[in-house]
Amino acid sequence: MALADEHSISNPGVFPDGSSVTLLDASLTLPHVIITGSLISLLWLALGLRQVRRLRAQAKPAPEELVGLLNQLTPAGKQVLQLGIVENCLLLPR
């Protein structure tokens, strides 16, 4: 982490030994925070992509009964929309 020497202050009243305090320069710290957050977000997305690929590789086709029922419930040319992460639901078009 970068420290800015131009912002050093000495206050003998607070620090009797005459030591100085160096403040962090926000113009140098803020980009580090943004880059760190971006890297964490990219890591999270990469782990999610890995899990999706693993799940797709292990997936099995739906039984014919379920495919037939879904075809009866959805009009031709329209798609079903899946929502949710933990509690999934299917939105059927009208």
Using one digit for the tens of pLDDT, what is the confidence trace for 44-78? 999 999 998 898 888 888 889 988 888 787 777 77
Beta bridge partners of 21: 9
What confidence tens digit (pLDDT) does each residue in 8-23 have? 554 444 565 666 666 7
Contact 70, 80 (CB under 8 A): yes
Query: Are the beta carbons of 83 and 91 closer than 8 angstroms?
Result: yes
pLDDT of residue 4 exceeding 60, the answer is no
Q: Residues with Cβ < 8 Å from 93, sequence gap 6 or more?
A: 74, 75, 78, 79, 80, 81
Looking from the CA of 14 toward its CB, the CA atoms found within 13 Å total: 6
Same domain for 4 and 34?
yes
Q: Residue 81: which domain range?
A: 62-94
Structural domain tally of the chain?
2
Global pTM? 0.48
Q: What is the pLDDT of residues 34-53, one digit of tens each?
A: 999 999 999 999 999 999 88
Same domain for 43 and 5:
yes
Where helices occur in 11-63 by DSSP H, the ranges are 26-58
